[in-house]
Chain A
Amino acid sequence: MAEIKVDCTGETCPIPLVETRKALRKAKAGDIVEVIGNHPSSKKEIPMAVKALGLKIIDIKEKGSVWKIRIRR
């Protein structure tokens, strides 16, 4: 099982969503995709996309304005 990291720090709509989707497409079932960013809306919208794709969020961590979302493919 691989862990794929995506850094979207400094990116704004719609790039964090798009980069998350790209990473999830490349990941294999069971892999973990970790997305880091600081675009406020993406923190709640990436989980919306994950739900729509039928996948699961492992956890969401936040430190200041930077968030880290881990997704199980």
Chain B
Amino acid sequence: MAEKVTIIVHSGDMDKVYSALIIGNGALAMGMEASLFFTFWGLQRLKKGGLEKGPLSKMNMLGLGKWMIKKKMKQAGVASLERLLKDFKELGGKVLACDMTMEIMGIKKEDLRDDLISDYCAVGTYLTEARGSKVTLVI
């Protein structure tokens, strides 16, 4: 069985979601398996139209900081989160949605991008993934 990376995407901040998707894609590109467990603020990014909506984790300055970083990222040729998530799925990555977060935040399945989500689950599924992983991260 291939080595695996499991990442908890707890933050919904744009830069942190980038980190998670870059590492996830990198793992898949290097022949590993990868699972992303979206919970709390991270799950907000799986809402329809929500992927690029996260603020910058620092110096967001009501969106001005994010705008500046986005401009720099565009100049540097950084891919969009949309493209990274699409690539992640294409290379066989698993996207897991925390159903407890859905309950406490009143998020329904139809609010989320169901086509991208491999499973709606909880801590048991996360641990089943994590215990067989070489690398586990919380972002």
Contacts and interface: CB of A to CB of B under 8 A. Distances in A.
**Bind each other:** yes
Interface of A: 10-15, 17-18, 20-22, 25, 48-49, 52-54
A55 B67 CA distance: 41
Interface string B29-46: 111100000000000000
Give 6 nearest A-B pairs by CB, closest first: A21-B29, A17-B29, A53-B31, A49-B30, A52-B30, A14-B25
Interface of B: 22, 25-26, 28-32, 76-79, 84, 87, 90-91
Given A18-B91, A22-B87, A49-B31, A11 B25 contact: no
Contact of A15 (B31, B32, B79): B79
Contacts of A49: 29-31
A20 to B, nearest CB: 7
Given A11-B77, A12-B78, A22 B91 contact: yes
Contacts of B25: 14, 17-18
Contact of A20 (B22, B29, B76, B90): B29
A13 B78 CA distance: 7
